[in-house]
Structure formats: C-alpha cells, structure tokens
C-alpha cells in the first residue's frame, strides 16, 4: 500500500478538530494527532467540542490540554449545545459554524462520519461539509451500541506506544463514561488492531477515516 504523508518533521500543519461530545475527538483521532506530534510535525490545532456541560465540559478541557501538550499552538473551545438534540438546534449550530469559518482556515478538518448512527454526530458532519466547502475533511469513527462501523478508505498507522498513551489518556480523563460497557481499553485497542491489520500497519495499530473528496498534486 502506497503511503502519502500530509506533513513531515518540522512541517507546520493546521488542524481543525470537531467533536459533538467531550470524548469524540480523542476516540476517533487522538492517536493520529499524537502520532503527528511525536513525529515532529508542528501542529496548530483548533479543538472544538460542541456539547460540554458541567463535568463533561471539565473533562473535555483537561483531556484536550493533555492530548495537545506537544502542539505548537492550540485553541480549545467547549460549547454548551444540548446533548442528543443537535438536529433540533440546527439553526443555532449553523450560526456557530459560520462564525467558526471566519476564525479558522485549516489544512485538515477531523470530524464525524456523515452516516454515523448518532444524530448529533451526523449533524456536526453535515454542517462541516455545508460550511467548509474547500477543505480536506477526514471523517473519524466512534464505536458504540449501534454497531455502525464503516468501511474506511484512509488509514493512519499509529505506533504501539502511542496507541497505549491514547487509551491511557482516555481512561484517565473520562470518569463519567467508565460505567458504559463499551468504554474500556479492550474496545479501543481492539478497533485499532483491526484497522492496523487492514492497512498492514508496521506496529499493528491504526486509526481509520473516510476521505470522501481529496485532490492529489
């Protein structure tokens, strides 16, 4: 499989990370972000969580701060849209997206899949494509009860030490989620191992994305 690198050591890369809930970005793309920074890519990250109220908001801020400790620059926004009701808040969220477009012009956007089973995730993805029409968008995956895992077409191999760090950070920061049966190290490591197998990752682990539209130069 041919590998294309979006950035190498010393290169600067602007990334917009969007998640509906406080742990979404970390689950879907945390290993990718950590891998870029470990490789020496100079990341400028704008990290946005749209629903982060009370304890979930505090968890989101602390987790983002740790995940982005090695970033060149970081901006963390925690919003308070109502969890589970994003479609009903579509106009307000769209207004927020339009304001965001005026503040950032990233090289890459990391967000939810268009066909994610969670209504909040789908709404975020829909508004990303509706608002940012000339950007590289990579859609990450979130394991959940619904059993909606996709067939990805883009993989990011993640070193074993990095995937372990991702899982450790997830488990240490999101105490509010530990009671959920699916939220455990085996889920996250198992999915990363499966995606690593699919792309023949050198250290066996990977994160996977859907890239719906790309331009190669």
| Cα torsion 95, 97, 103, 105: sign | negative
Q: What is the DSSP letter of 180?
A: S
Q: What is the residue-wise DSSP string for 79-109?
A: -BPPTT-TGGGHHHHHHHHHHHHTT---SEE
pTM of the full structure: 0.96
pLDDT of residue 178: 80
Which uninterrupted H or E stretch holds 171?
A: helix 160-173
Non-local (6+) Cβ contacts of 213 within 8 A are 137
Q: pLDDT at position 164, please?
A: 98
Looking at residue 177, what is its pLDDT? 86
CB-facing half-sphere around the CA of 195: CA atoms within 13 A: 33
Contact 156, 201 (CB under 8 A): no
- Give kind and range of the element (H or E) at residue 166: helix 160-173
Check residue 153 and give its pLDDT: 96
pLDDT for the residue 2: 75
CATH domain 12-210 topology: Rossmann fold (3.40.50)
| CB-based burial label for 102 (10 Å; 0-12, 13-18, 19+) | exposed
State the pLDDT at residue 105: 97
Q: Which pLDDT belongs to residue 175?
A: 82
Averages of pLDDT over runs of 10 residues in the chain (217 residues) are 86 98 97 98 98 93 97 97 95 98 97 97 98 97 92 97 98 88 94 98 98 88
DSSP annotation string for 23-81: THHHHHHHHHHHHHHHTT-EEEEEEEESB--THHHHHHHHHHHHHTTT-SEEEEEE-BP
Domain ranges of the chain: 12-210
Q: Shortest CA distance to 119 belongs to which of 51, 188, 57? A: 51
């Amino acid at each position: 499989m041919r590998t294309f690198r979006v950035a190498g050591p010393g290169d600067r890369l602007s990334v917009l990370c969007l998640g509906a809930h406080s742990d979404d970005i970390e689950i879907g793309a945390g290993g990718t972000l950590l891998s870029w920074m470990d490789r020496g890519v100079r990341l400028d990250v704008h990290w946005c969580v749209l629903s982060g109220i009370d304890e979930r908001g505090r968890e989101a801020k602390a987790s983002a701060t740790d995940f982005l400790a090695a970033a060149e620059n970081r901006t963390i926004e925690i919003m308070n849209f109502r969890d589970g009701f994003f479609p009903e808040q579509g106009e307000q969220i769209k207004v927020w997206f339009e304001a965001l477009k005026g503040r950032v012009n990233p090289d890459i956007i990391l967000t939810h899949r268009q066909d994610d089973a969670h209504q909040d995730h789908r709404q975020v993805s829909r508004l990303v494509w509706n608002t940012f029409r000339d950007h590289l968008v990579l859609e990450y995956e979130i394991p959940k009860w619904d059993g909606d895992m996709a067939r990805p077409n883009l993989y990011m191999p993640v070193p074993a030490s990095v995937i372990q760090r991702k899982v450790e950070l997830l488990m240490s920061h999101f105490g509010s989620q530990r009671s959920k049966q699916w939220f455990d190290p085996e889920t996250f490591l198992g999915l990363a191992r499966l995606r690593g197998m699919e792309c023949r990752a050198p250290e066996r682990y990977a994160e996977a994305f859907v890239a719906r539209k790309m331009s190669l130069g």
